Amino acid sequence: MAQGASAYPTRPITWVVPYPAGGFGDALSRMLAQKLSASLKQPVVIDNRPGAGGQIGANFVKQQPADGYTLFYGDLGPLSMNAGLYPKLSYDTLKDFTPLSRLLVSPTLLIVPASSRLQTWQDFVQAAKSEKGLNYGSYGMGSQPHIWMEMLNGEIKGRLTHVAYKGGAPAVQDLMAGHIDAMLDVTPSSIPLVREGKARALAVVGSERRLAQLPQVPTIGELGLPSLNVPGWTGMVVKSGTPEAIANLLHDELVKAVQSPDVVQRYTDLGLAIAPSSRAEFGDLIRTETERWGKVIRATGVRLD
């Protein structure tokens, strides 16, 4: 049944977030869903389906009709890294989904507790290479912070031990309490911690220049490891086979929403770059990032069932 964008949408749209409520991706999704709802004159309902590194959410969307009524919000993990992490991944991002647009590019910070003896990057490297080594937290097995810290461990030939958490919030809590030595964290949650003196930032990752919010913190490139300067990103896809007219309309509406002045202000204040793309550019990004992270993941030896 051919359906153009003229009749769309006639009922509520579901926006699937593969993470628990309360995190950065969930907050961004809620803000953008409100914009989309006002513009399309239909409710856009957030549906949190966390678990299995984003696979539960991705599989749910894959099983829905290709009619533009189910959107999938994702980041580097479910849209690119999972292909290299899970030998039996039940979806193929580029075959099963149609890219709509990239939304944001997100730097991260390497942070330690405010009470840590590690005052500088050099202190961190020295401690990481010592007999005792250091432990670090991540959002979970195979998350971007986990893989990045394993890349770092290989580069500095350190003794870093991974502690996996179920999401960013519990990892951050344990970091502030001093139960873990370090973690890589997205800027929306880590910049406020550093500003409030609850954590100390040792390096900025995924940005060519220092962050305006934390000008004293060097970039990983400045510290001599430009190959580790990899940014995170977020974006939107729909199921493959969604009519072109609908996919194009959704692309235009998402770009408009993410470029709204209040969205721009809120997220640039948190160190993120608003970075919408064409549908083709986003497809190319997913493809090249899947290849890049596949190589990195093979090199670190991380495999998940």
CATH code, domain carrying 206: 3.40.190.10
pLDDT of residue 68: 97
CATH code, domain carrying 24: 3.40.190.150
Considering the domain architecture, whether residues 217 and 147 belong to the same structural domain is answered as yes
pTM (global) more than 0.85: yes
Of 228, 253, 280, the residue that ends a domain is 228
Kindly tell me if the per-residue pLDDT of 289 is higher than 90: yes
Residue 162 counted as domain residue:
yes
Residue 305 counted as domain residue:
no
Considering the domain architecture, whether residues 16 and 90 belong to the same structural domain is answered as yes
pLDDT of residue 5: 60
pLDDT of residue 4: 56
What gap in Å lies between CA 78 and CA 93, rounded to an integer?
8
Considering the domain architecture, whether residues 224 and 118 belong to the same structural domain is answered as yes
What gap in Å lies between CA 174 and CA 176, rounded to an integer?
5
Q: How confident is the model over 114-161, as pLDDT tens digits?
A: 999 999 999 999 999 999 999 999 988 888 999 999 999 999 999 999
Number of separate domains in the chain: 2
Kindly tell me if the per-residue pLDDT of 2 is higher than 50: no
Considering the domain architecture, whether residues 205 and 116 belong to the same structural domain is answered as yes
Kindly tell me if the per-residue pLDDT of 216 is higher than 90: yes
Across 193-222, average pLDDT: 96
Average pLDDT, the chain: 94
State the residue range of the domain holding 24. 5-105+232-300
Q: How confident is the model over 66-107, as pLDDT tens digits?
A: 999 999 999 999 999 999 999 999 999 999 999 999 999 999
Considering the domain architecture, whether residues 183 and 247 belong to the same structural domain is answered as no
Kindly tell me if the per-residue pLDDT of 166 is higher than 90: no
pLDDT of residue 300: 85
Of 166, 194, 228, the residue that ends a domain is 228
pLDDT of residue 1: 37
